[in-house]
Amino acid sequence: MENSYLTTRLVINKLNLADHQFIMQLVNTPEWIKFIGNRNINTAEDAKLYIQKIIDSSDVNYWVVKFKETGTPIGVVTFIKRDYLEYYDIGFAFLSEFGNKGYAFEATSAVLNCMGKSHAHPRILATTIKENINSIKLLKKLGFQFEGEIDNGKNELSLYAVDCSS
C-alpha cells in the first residue's frame, strides 16, 4: 500500500500525528457525525490518540487529502478491513466547503486505481447509510455497483462493490 499519491490538484499522504488538528475538525463536522458517527474527539490529545490507534492497526489505512499548492487539508480517504466484510472497504470524508468540486472523486480514484492494480485486492467494497446520497452518487461514479443491504450491528448499511480483477 502506497504512503502517498499525487493527482493533478492533490497530494494524498498517510495519516500521521501532525494531522491531529485537521482530524479533530473533520470528525466533528455535522456531516461526519450524521453519516459516520460521533467519535467523541474533543481535544488535541483525543485526536492524537485516535490517530495513533489508526496508525497501529494493520487493517486500517487513512490518507489525508491536501491541496498540492497550499498543503491545506480538505478530507480523507480510508481503506479498512472490517470484521463484518469479506473484503476491504474504501471510504472518504471531506469538509463540506470542498464538496461537489471533484476532489473526493479525484482522491478516491487515485487510491482505488492503485489498489486495483496491485492485484492484492480483487474486490473492493464500500458501505454507507441510505441517507448519504452524495456518497452513493460518488460510489456509482467510481464504478461501484449496489449489492444489497447489510447490518453491521449498529446500522443498516447499503453495500457497494467493484471488481478489480479484470
Enumerate the β-bridge partners of residue 136: none
pLDDT at 121 (0 to 100): 86
In tens, the pLDDT along 31-65 reads: 999 889 889 999 999 999 999 999 999 999 999 99
In tens, the pLDDT along 109-153 reads: 999 988 766 667 889 999 999 999 999 999 999 999 999 999 888
pLDDT at 165 (0 to 100): 65
Residue 57 to residue 49: CA distance in whole angstroms? 13
pLDDT at 166 (0 to 100): 56
Q: How many domains would you assign to the chain?
A: 1
Domain that residue 8 falls in: 4-163
Q: Pairing between strand 123-128 and 73-80?
A: unpaired
pLDDT at 61 (0 to 100): 94
In tens, the pLDDT along 59-103 reads: 999 999 999 999 999 999 999 999 999 999 999 999 999 988 999
Average pLDDT estimate for 18-37? 94
Residue 29 to residue 86: CA distance in whole angstroms? 30
Here the CATH number for the domain that contains residue 52 is: 3.40.630.30
pLDDT at 41 (0 to 100): 96
- Taking 80 as the threshold, does the pLDDT of residue 11 lie above it? yes
Q: Model-level pTM?
A: 0.93
- Taking 80 as the threshold, does the pLDDT of residue 2 lie above it? no
Contacts for 70-78: CB closer than 8 Å, 24+ residues apart: 71/11, 73/19, 73/22, 74/98, 74/103, 75/26, 75/103, 75/104, 75/107, 76/15, 76/23, 76/26, 77/12, 77/107, 77/108, 77/111
- Taking 70 as the threshold, does the pLDDT of residue 161 lie above it? yes
